[in-house]
Chains A and B, each alone.
Chain A
Amino acid sequence: MSEVALNISKDNLKDIRQLYDKYAGMLLGFIRGSVQDQKRSEEFLIKIISEFALETNGKAASWLELRQFARYKLIEFYPIGNAEIIIGNSTNDNLNLLDREERDVFQAVYYQGKSIAQLADLLNKNENTLRTQLKSSIDKIRKARGN
């Protein structure tokens, strides 16, 4: 599509491209892990980056802010019941470092935004145990990456 046909200023286009170059791949990875559907993930990626670009209006934003924005948007676009955990089979090297329980906790928190209290209810586990499992899963990945 030519730029002439668009009703967006050059500055806005620049901001969108910067946001896209920096975060589109990371965001698609995150959405893909949450939605488990390639086509829908791409549709949500388009919507989320567009809305985030308009909301931040060129102001610098961190990955954590974008991920949190995406999480809220995904709840709106693709609601998952509170009593549901979607666990996908991971082909990701980082997640394969974790044992089954750690991976389930990590995926439920990271991709689905489940709180520790919700998880404790769902898995019938102690909140402190879950907090420790989450921490140990992140530590394992960080150590494996040399951080």
Chain B
Amino acid sequence: MEIKQLIDSGLMETYVMGVATDTEIQQVLWAKKQFPEFADALTKLEVDMEILAQSMAVPPPSGILSKIEQEVNEIKLREQNLERFTETESRYKQAEQEKVKQDRYIEVESETNQMRISKAWRWVFAAVFVLGKIFLGFAIYFYLENRQAQEQIKDLKIEINQIKSIK
């Protein structure tokens, strides 16, 4: 397509009016790059559209500027509040996650073979241990005593039997 045809096609106008399709936009950008004449015509059209908008301008009533400042202020405050809320929410979520992690840790520990008890119990265990040793000592002592007594009885029985046979 010749450059003159391209300029006269109405492509530039749809682009500047903001209603060009994706293909048309690509065509305009390509032509702008390829042909300086097209680029100049496009710039001129853009300037003219701005001048046209100026000629169709409607002066805003007084007080609009302060309302705009107020609106910007409110939007900023809303954004700040939203940021604060998001921050608090993320902190709360983090705390929740920490808690879940902790819960998991406790669960894992509860599955081990170890247990925790109060230190006061060590005296009870020591006493049980010592008493155990004492009872064991007594048990061995009486066992040996008993065995010795049995042997003596046996000897005495043999002696009595021998005396009986001599008589």
Q: Do they bind each other?
A: yes
Contacts A16-B72, A54-B75; A113 near B19 (Cβ below 8 A): yes
> A28: which of B50, B60, B77 is its contact (CB, 8 Å)?
B60
Contacts A50-B75, A134-B13; A68 near B67 (Cβ below 8 A): no
Q: Mark B57-101, 1 if CB is under 8 A from A, else 0.
A: 111110011111111110111001000000000000000000000
Interface residues of A in 75-130 (CB under 8 A from B): 92-94, 109-110, 113-117
Contacts A28-B57, A131-B14; A47 near B71 (Cβ below 8 A): yes
Say whether B57 contacts A16, CB under 8 Å. Answer: no
Say whether B72 contacts A12, CB under 8 Å. Answer: yes
Minimum CB–CB distance from A101 to chain B (whole Å) comes to 15
Say whether B56 contacts A30, CB under 8 Å. Answer: yes
> A20: which of B9, B45, B57, B68 is its contact (CB, 8 Å)?
B68
Minimum CB–CB distance from A38 to chain B (whole Å) comes to 9
Say whether B46 contacts A64, CB under 8 Å. Answer: yes
- Any chain A CB within 8 A of the CB of B49? yes
The total number of A-B Cβ pairs within 8 Å is 130
Contacts A29-B58, A135-B8, A135-B10; A16 near B69 (Cβ below 8 A): yes
Chain B residues contacting A54 (CB-CB under 8 Å) are 72, 75-76
In the bound assembly, the distance between CA atoms of A109 and B49 in angstroms comes to 13
Chain A residues contacting B68 (CB-CB under 8 Å) are 16, 20, 46, 49-50, 53
Minimum CB–CB distance from B28 to chain A (whole Å) comes to 13
> A134: which of B17, B67, B75 is its contact (CB, 8 Å)?
B17
Say whether B14 contacts A116, CB under 8 Å. Answer: yes
Say whether B53 contacts A26, CB under 8 Å. Answer: yes
Chain B residues contacting A71 (CB-CB under 8 Å) are 18
Say whether A24 contacts B52, CB under 8 Å. Answer: no
- Any chain A CB within 8 A of the CB of B21? yes
Which chain B residue has the least Cβ–Cβ distance from A1?
B66
Say whether A147 contacts B13, CB under 8 Å. Answer: no
Residues of A participating in the B interface, judged by any CB pair closer than 8 Å: 1, 6-8, 12-13, 16-17, 20, 24-26, 28-30, 32-33, 41-42, 45-47, 49-51, 53-54, 62-64, 67-68, 71, 92-94, 109-110, 113-117, 131-132, 134-135, 138, 141-142, 145, 147
Supply 28 A–B pairs (Cβ within 8 Å), ascending by A.
Answer: A1-B69, A1-B70, A6-B73, A7-B80, A13-B69, A24-B64, A25-B59, A26-B56, A30-B53, A30-B56, A42-B64, A45-B60, A46-B71, A51-B75, A62-B50, A64-B16, A64-B50, A109-B14, A109-B19, A115-B21, A117-B21, A131-B13, A132-B10, A134-B14, A135-B8, A145-B48, A145-B52, A147-B48
Known pairs A25-B58, A50-B68, A50-B71 / 19 extra A-B pairs, C-beta < 8 Å:
A16-B68, A20-B68, A26-B53, A29-B58, A30-B56, A42-B60, A46-B64, A49-B68, A54-B76, A64-B18, A64-B49, A67-B18, A109-B19, A134-B13, A134-B17, A135-B9, A135-B13, A138-B49, A141-B52
